[in-house]
Homo-oligomer: A and B are copies of this chain.
Amino acid sequence: MEKEILELLTEKKFVRLRSMLCEMNPADIAIVLEEIPDKDLPIVFRILPKETAAEVFAYMESDMQKLLIEAFSDAELKAMVDELFLDDTVDIIEEMPATLAKRIIKQTDAETRKMINRLLAYPDNSAGSIMTTEYIDLKRDMTVDEAFEKIRRVGADAEDIYTCYVIDKSRQLLGYVTVKDLLLNSRDSIIGDIMEEAVISANTLDDKEAVAGQFERYDLMALPVVDTENRLVGIVTFDDAIDVIQEAATEDIDKMAAILPSDKSYFKTSVFSTFKARIPWLMLLMLSATFTGAIISSFESKLTVFPALIAFIPMLMGTAGNCGSQSSVTVIRSISLGDIEFKDIFRVIWKELRVAIVCSVVLAVVNFIKLVVIDYWWLGTFDSGSQLLEIAVVCVTLLITVIVAKFVGCSLPIAAKKIGFDPAVMASPFITTIVDAISLLIYFTVASSILNI
């Protein structure tokens, strides 16, 4: 496909190229255009029909959008901005350097400019930042026929026409009707009679992830956004909600893996940006391992007397770390999905403790069997009888650390959330470091008391 397009381009067969591109989906055109040389990009772009061009533009990565805007004349830029949905325009402006952003805004009329500036002012993670102002509003005394007339008149410019919002003179949100309701009611029905008044709405400053969660919970197609006086100011559509849901999941996954989250895809992130996203946690975790090092150093002389104890350190720390991160990751994801709140902390701890006890007993027993039956009796890896005591040390440590690790793993994220920290940052790597230190302390304490050292 890309090859064919490149060929048509070099042979300057623009008519064929145009008809070929017109049969493709705008999202796919945007991907294909990434492969063609930068200098040809404006040429290909200019042969697309105006409307398709705007759609393709909205799907492009920001570096290509920048390239095109720089190549556009003011008239071309204006034509493009006129075709774009307002929320897409705002997204593009946010990614552009200041001079280009100003050039874009200059091409819009006074009212659009006011709207853009208002949308730009909403905080990055707010409902306001993902909403669009192009929706259909109706009055309660309209008939179904009048409503259809309005939809026909302004529908081409609206991002979602299937949910229409009913407002009064001061733009207070009264309810909504769907086009399905309009179609299934008689043409002279009054909107006020058929509208649904129990409308789920969001505030402009609500967290956008919470708003996306509403889409999932209520199977919404669009959600109205109101200001502090309950005046309708915009809507969020389901496609933006899906993007927020995916971004939020990726962000959580990044944080759990000790990476600073980025909103760019893998190959779009430069080596240096990837490095910058990864090095802070690596550095912090490396330096915080000083504690585990110090704990081992302080026990060094005793370890040289019982050197067999050294070999179990990775197993004990690893198992404790895995137990802790299982609990923390489960709890963090449940917090993200809204299944766990702060008030549930004791229910969570109670559940995790029971799971932990079963896990710890099973792990300790299996470990005991492995060490005694296989290593001690069968393989004879251990060389003296006193080392049965060492096996006891390992198993008792396992019993205790698994329970402690799961306790730390489940309670820390909830506590973090409560005091305003990000629970996802509390995940695996950070908890692992804490759990590592704790498991070593438990190991050496148990060893000291059982082995009398």
Tell me how far the C-beta of A202 lies from the nearest C-beta in chain B, rounded to whole angstroms.
14
Copy total for this chain = 2
- B-contacting 9-mer, from A68-76, A89-97, A107-115, A354-362: A354-362
Does A250 reach chain B (CB closer than 8 Å)?
yes
Contact (Cβ within 8 A) A326 B258: yes
B-side contacts of A363, CB under 8 Å: 279, 282-283, 286
Closest to A296 in B: B311
Judged by a CB distance under 8 angstroms, whether A238 is at the interface is yes
Report if A14 contacts B (CB, 8 A): no
Contacts of A271 in B (CB 8 A): 351, 354-355, 358
Give the docked Cα–Cα distance between A263 and B219 (Å): 18
Interface string of A278-316 (1 = CB under 8 A from B): 110111011101101110110011011001101111110
In the complex, which residue of chain B has the Cβ closest to the Cβ of A219? B239
List the one stretch of A4-12, A43-51, A122-130, A428-436 in contact with chain B: A428-436
Q: Taking each of A242, A279, A334, which has the highest tally of chain B beta carbons within 10 Å of its own beta carbon?
A: A242
Say yes or no for A39: interface residue by CB 8 A criterion. Answer: no
A 344-370 contacts with B by CB, 8 A: 344, 347-348, 351, 354-355, 358-359, 362-363, 366-367, 370
**Which residues of A, 309-355, contact B by the 8 Å Cβ criterion?**
310-315, 317-319, 322-323, 325-326, 329-331, 333-334, 337, 339-340, 344, 347-348, 351, 354-355
Q: Which of A178-186, A224-232, A444-452 contacts B (4 or more CB under 8 A)?
A: A178-186
State A308–B310 Cα separation when bound (angstroms). 12
Contact of A238 among B238, B282, B290, B370 (CB under 8 A): B238
Closest Cβ of chain B to A5, distance in Å, is 16
For A279, the chain B residues whose CB sits under 8 A away are: 358-359, 362-363
Given A152-B183, A179-B179, the answer on whether A318 and B289 have CB atoms closer than 8 Å is: yes
Q: Taking the nearest CB of chain B, how far is it from the CB of A441, in angstroms?
A: 13
The one of B184, B217, B253, B370 in contact with A252, judged by C-beta atoms closer than 8 angstroms, is B253
Shortest distance from the beta carbon of A141 to any chain B beta carbon, whole Å: 22
Tell yes or no: A384 within 8 A of B by CB: no
Question: Bound state CA distance, A428 and B322, in angstroms?
Answer: 10
Set of chain B residues within 8 Å of A358, measured between Cβ atoms: 271-272, 275, 279
Which one of B179, B370, B381, B429 contacts A287 once the chains associate, using CB atoms below 8 Å?
B370
Q: Are A286 and B366 in contact (CB under 8 A)?
A: yes
A184 contacts B329, C-beta separation under 8 Å: no
A266 at the A/B interface (Cβ < 8 Å)?
yes
Neighbour of A183 across the interface among B148, B239, B275, B355, CB < 8 A = B148
Q: Which of B245, B253, B281, B330 contacts A242 (CB 8 A)?
A: B245
Question: Chain B contacts of A381 at CB under 8 A?
Answer: 297
Q: Is the CB of A282 within 8 A of B323?
A: yes
A239→B183 CA distance, assembly (Å)? 22
**B293 lies within 8 A of A198 (CB):** no
User: Which residues in window 199-227 of A have CB below 8 A to B?
Assistant: 200, 215-219, 221
Shortest Cβ distance from A338 into B: residue: B265
Closest to A364 in B: B286
Asked if A378 lies at the interface with its beta carbon under 8 angstroms from chain B, I say no
List 8 interface pairs A-B (beta carbons < 8 Å), by A numbering: A155-B180, A253-B256, A257-B330, A257-B428, A267-B344, A278-B326, A292-B315, A325-B428
Q: Which 4 A-B pairs have the closest CB atoms?
A: A289-B315, A249-B249, A257-B329, A219-B239
